[in-house]
Chain A
Amino acid sequence: MIIVEAEGLACPFPVIEAKKALRSSGSEDVLLRVDNEVAVGNLKRLATSMQREYSVKELSAELFEVTIKGETEGAAEASAKTAAVLAETDSEYIVQISSNHMGAGNDELGAILMKSFIYSLTEQDRLPVALVFYNTGVELTCEGSAVLEDLKTLEKAGVSLLSCGLCLDFLKLKEKLLIGEITNMYRIAELIRTYRTARP
């Protein structure tokens, strides 16, 4: 058993200490002492992401012991199985962007969320085949867009960026398109029926 004293450490430090210990622990259990529930939550997530079993002991309101079990042969096999299942379900997909913001309620927040969403796409394990922009979504591929840098990154990696021509025309943005291609509804319909579709 490896013991890590992580009391008094603000996140993300308990997790960082735990990762350090887990890197070399192999089949040995790792016990972490932390003083707050946020750290307990983060450690649980770390254990789950590494597919390790864990247990939590609340010794007092300000002292918790989180034990993350060592790697077992069974776990290694199970994780290989999970990876195989993930690879199968992780099929090609497209992303539909139907608005210049994400979600309804507050447009200022919605614009920030959309920026975050497009950035997150660049960090996915699997990139989409295409991003399809329509309605006010086409504003994102035009002059004044806050996500051009990320779109460039995606385009360079081979992701198609397709903006609805009718939408550009209607919103008087045709001359302002800065990235990707103009497409039409036949192509959009074909993409949507062919690929699994993700929508922010």
Chain B
Amino acid sequence: MKNRLQIPDFMLASFDSSHDAMHSEEASKAAGIKARLIPTPELVKAGCGLSLRMEPKVAADIARLLNEEGVKVSHWILSTTIDGVRQFIAQDSPLKAKDQDK
């Protein structure tokens, strides 16, 4: 019998280098925003092996922070479960979305 845990929806930022990924986690921590590095999911495979995982609601704050820090995000991806199937859906940068609102 399987006992897989339910995975909540989250946003992922992927990077071209592991040093960028590590810097992104440190910068988020310093700014008091909850985010953490996880291994980049197999089906995403964008750039380096680590991605920054965060709740979708803080994605715009993190996008702004990383932009200020000069850390380039290669892709933004939403991890979500639809009808019991895990999906990774590419997103526009939350930074862009926020700017358009203004």
| Interface positions of B from 34 to 53, Cβ below 8 Å from A | 36-39, 42-46, 49-50
| Interface positions of A from 1 to 48, Cβ below 8 Å from B | 10-13, 15-16, 19, 42, 45-46
Interface residues on B, range: 20 to 34
Describe A's contact surface by its main secondary structure: helix
Q: Does B89 sit at the interface, judged by CB under 8 A?
A: yes
Set B38, B39, B89: member contacting A16, Cβ < 8 A: B89
Q: Does A127 sit at the interface, judged by CB under 8 A?
A: yes
Which stretch from A60-68, A112-120, A166-174, A188-196 is at the chain B interface? Answer: A112-120
CB-CB under 8 A for A157 and B37, given A12-B43, A13-B90, A42-B45:
no
| Interface positions of A from 53 to 93, Cβ below 8 Å from B | none
Residues of A within 8 A of B50 (CB): 112, 116
Interface residues on A, range: 20 to 34
Complex Cα distance, B2 from A120, in Å, reads: 16
Residues of B within 8 A of A19 (CB): 87
Interface string of A180-200 (1 = CB under 8 A from B): 000000000000000000000
Interface string of A101-129 (1 = CB under 8 A from B): 00000000000100110011011111100
Set B7, B36, B38, B43: member contacting A15, Cβ < 8 A: B43
Q: Does A153 sit at the interface, judged by CB under 8 A?
A: yes
Q: A119-B36, A127-B5 given; name 11 further pairs at CB < 8 Å.
A: A11-B44, A11-B46, A11-B75, A12-B43, A45-B42, A112-B50, A116-B38, A120-B38, A124-B4, A127-B3, A153-B5
Residues of A within 8 A of B (CB): 10-13, 15-16, 19, 42, 45-46, 49, 112, 115-116, 119-120, 122-127, 149, 153, 157-158
Residues of B within 8 A of A (CB): 2-5, 7, 18, 22, 36-39, 42-46, 49-50, 74-75, 77, 87-90
Sample 20 A-B pairs with CB under 8 A, ordered by A number: A10-B46, A11-B44, A11-B45, A11-B75, A12-B43, A12-B75, A12-B77, A15-B45, A16-B89, A49-B43, A112-B18, A112-B50, A116-B49, A119-B36, A119-B39, A123-B7, A125-B2, A125-B4, A127-B3, A127-B4
